[in-house]
Homo-oligomer: A and B are copies of this chain.
Amino acid sequence: MTELFTVVPPSEAFRTFTGAFEPLHEAETIQVRLAAGRVLARDVRAAEPLPGFTRATMDGYAVRSRDTVGASESSPAYLRLAGEVRMGVMALGRVEPGEAPRIHTGAMLPEGADAVVMMEETTLTGEDVEVLCPVAPGESVFKAGEDAAAGSVVLQAGKRLRAADIGALCALGVVQVEVACRPRIAVLSTGDEVVPPEAALLEGQIRDVNGQTVATLIADAGGLPVPGGIVRDDEAALEAALRAALAGADGLVLSAGSSVSSRDLTARVVERLGRPGILVHGVALWPGKPTVLAVCDGKPVVGLPGNPTSALVVAWRFVRPLVRYLAGERVAQDGFDAISVEAILTQNISSRTGREDYFPASLERADDGSLRATPIYAKSSGIVSLARADALVLVPLDHAGLPAGARVRVVEL
């Protein structure tokens, strides 16, 4: 029964933590088609302009815009149909004054032409193209280099690749890309009462939940969870297990047993794993106060509380951004995601000021399209009750609860 610690605000805790170790800077080259969700290790530049040639963005006629000056329905500009630009090939020949070859969306604008007149604004009579309104230079065309200039940075190092980024790489002809290696995070559970999920329970035992929930969050954040199993609350065994796990990984997350003595044991052992050791012991977070953040010989170590709901909240708050930071992704200094979901609270929530609280809630989309969050009852020692929730409602540090009708930030489960 020791566990005497000073609680630190979660945002400050995350800053202190990430200030004490470096991202991994290990990269690998992979196929672009497998790169979604990976973090770019270096800037990608356009080797060539994109598009590579000026293209029509409408079906119509390629024209010299000056030939259409003053055109109107009552007084059309008369141009001469000069063949058709075929798709996917070089636009042979030059558009001379008074000429208007037929062109399709996506085809190459021929030399001499500087605009496209949409089909709808023309009338074709034999070989005569009547243009019914003037077009400005550049109208209905996508200019060479307009999407990306040759040599320009298209995607920056540290970016997590999404569908649109994969598309940009394909457009540029980049089929291999250098991405950060997935951070390998060892995941261990401790506690004399904890047995593997497949075990038949003896009286007094519970099955390990945190090993799998934390691994799921790590994988989701782009990391590689390395399963380390369950360790007894024995000081020597625990130290040996943690040393071995940390040696084979880039970081370590362990969920302590739920008792104070088990947590004390964990903290004592973590403190011995390497320098500088424990940086934060206790955060102003509920559920999840007895959290340990440590750096041991350059590798981050997170000690989670044992209760499943607490462990998941702390893993969301610290482990997710930790994995992203390790991979070299730009992460907000306070550890929060840049993009958040907001909802309207349907009931009062009471909490204590000076503490960041997370309340399980169900979400529902109202008829007006807004999202409604209704807190649901769930003890932090449970997990099924948390699985019944859609999200966690955040009550910020400086709030003593939130009233019904308040706009709140929620974390999708």
* Residue positions of A touching B, CB distance < 8 A: 1, 32-33, 36, 46, 50-53, 55, 57, 59, 86-91, 104-108, 119, 142, 146-148, 154-155, 162-175, 191-194, 197-217, 219-220, 233, 257-262, 306, 308, 312, 315, 332, 336, 338-342, 363-365, 369, 371, 379, 381-387, 389-391, 396, 409, 412-413
Contacts and interface: CB of A to CB of B under 8 A. Distances in A.
A192 B387 contact: no
B36 A389 contact: no
Nearest to A211: B170
Given A1-B59, A105-B258, A173-B201, 18 more contacts: A33-B215, A36-B216, A59-B260, A59-B261, A88-B194, A88-B204, A104-B260, A106-B193, A107-B259, A154-B384, A154-B387, A167-B387, A168-B209, A170-B197, A173-B200, A174-B197, A339-B371, A341-B342
B371 A168 contact: no
B171 A206 contact: yes
Nearest to A203: B90
Copies of this protein chain in the complex:
2
B166 A216 contact: yes
B332 A365 contact: yes
Contacts of A210: 167
Nearest to A197: B170
9 contacts: A86-B204, A88-B192, A88-B204, A154-B384, A162-B216, A162-B387, A164-B389, A167-B212, A174-B197
A336 B293 CA distance: 39
A2 B1 CA distance: 81
Most buried by B among A91, A174, A202, A207: A207
Nearest to A175: B198
B171 A384 contact: yes
Contact of A220 (B36, B89, B369): B36
A209 to B, nearest CB: 4
Contacts of A167: 209-210, 212-213, 308, 312, 383, 386-387
B199 A173 contact: yes
A209 B53 contact: no
